[in-house]
């Protein structure tokens, strides 16, 4: 499989939109996130347990800082992290979507992965599992940084193939291998983009860019579920 870079993902996600100018600024990203949690989350994602506004602002701060650390100057990385959040914790620090999975923080990172990231990047990390779990739940900016670091490491393990890196984050190293083997049995010859977790992520990425486009230039697009805007 050819190396897939983030610009390719964004081209796919933004297909069909009218926006062709350079990527949005940090402030535009922040507005996209606020719009999602105030309108899109309850309407599109049918999310009932919404984070309070102060936590939304912390998620925004966390994603901006994490993207700048691991992908300096990349607006694209911000939306990739937003889509990861949408397809994982949905903005909640306590994992309620996957109760059988011990993962924590807004992007649902597992404790062994968090320790790996802390060790690799020399990020201070609590020693006990209990303290680490609490930090991932309560320190939103820190947990977002750790999740972004994990995504960066998985990308690098996969030769900077950002499709496989994303899938390794979502399935775990062992789980990803099982998912690929299962795909080979169920759908011989099909690419890993046929995996359900990839499709969930791409739905989030396409939605994130559609929300951004609506804010930049109102257009008659429903982003898959929102009421169309009326052009001014």
In DSSP notation, 137-192 reads HH-HHHHHHHHHHHHHHHHHHTTT-HHHHHHHHHH-HHHHHHHHHHHHHHSTT--G
pTM: 0.84
Q: What is the CATH number of domain 6-216?
A: 1.10.530.10
CA distances for 205 relative to 9, 32, 86, 114, angstroms: 9, 12, 9, 24
CA distances for 14 relative to 2, 60, 227, angstroms: 21, 21, 19
Q: In this structure, what is the dihedral angle of CA atoms 33, 35, 41, 44, given to the nearest 10 degrees?
A: -120
- Separation CA 151–CA 156 (nearest Å): 9
Q: What pLDDT, in 10s, does the model give residues 50-92?
A: 889 999 999 999 999 999 999 998 999 999 999 999 988 787 7
Domain ranges of the chain: 6-216
**If you compute the radius of gyration of the chain from its CA atoms, what whole number of angstroms results?**
17
Q: What single DSSP character describes residue 231?
A: -
Selection from 102, 107, 77, 87 nearest residue 196 by Cα: 87
- Separation CA 25–CA 37 (nearest Å): 19
Angle between helices 53-70 and 140-157 in degrees, nearest 10: 40
Write out the chain's pLDDT in tens, 232 residues. 444 444 444 444 444 444 444 445 899 999 999 999 998 888 888 888 888 999 999 999 999 999 999 999 899 999 999 999 998 878 776 665 556 678 899 999 999 999 999 999 999 999 999 999 999 999 999 999 999 999 999 999 999 999 999 999 999 989 999 999 999 999 999 999 999 999 999 999 999 998 888 888 766 667 877 765 544 4
Half-sphere exposure (Cβ direction) of 1: Cα atoms closer than 13 Å: 15
Sign of the Cα pseudo-torsion (176, 177, 180, 185, in order):
negative
């Amino acid at each position: 499989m050819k190396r897939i870079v983030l610009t390719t993902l964004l081209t796919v996600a933004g297909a069909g939109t009218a926006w062709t100018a350079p990527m949005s600024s940090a402030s535009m990203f922040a507005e996209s996130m606020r719009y999602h949690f105030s309108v899109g989350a309850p309407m599109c994602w049918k999310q009932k347990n919404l984070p309070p506004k102060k936590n939304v602002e912390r998620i925004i701060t966390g994603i901006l800082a994490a993207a700048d650390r691991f992908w300096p100057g990349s607006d694209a990385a911000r939306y990739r992290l937003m889509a990861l959040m949408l397809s994982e914790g949905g903005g909640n620090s306590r994992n309620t979507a996957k109760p059988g999975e011990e993962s924590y923080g807004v992007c649902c990172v597992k404790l062994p992965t968090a320790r790996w990231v802390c060790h690799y990047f020399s990020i201070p990390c609590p020693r006990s599992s209990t303290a680490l779990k609490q930090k991932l739940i309560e320190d939103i900016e820190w947990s977002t940084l750790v999740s972004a670091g994990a995504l960066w490491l998985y990308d690098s393990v996969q030769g900077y193939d950002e499709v496989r890196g994303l899938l390794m984050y979502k399935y775990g190293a062992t789980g990803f291998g099982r998912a690929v083997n299962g795909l080979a049995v169920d759908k011989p010859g099909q690419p890993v983009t046929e995996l359900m977790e990839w499709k969930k992520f791409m739905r989030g990425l396409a939605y994130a860019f559609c929300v951004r486009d609506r804010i930049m230039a109102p257009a008659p697009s429903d982003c898959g579920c929102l009421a169309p805007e009326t052009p001014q």
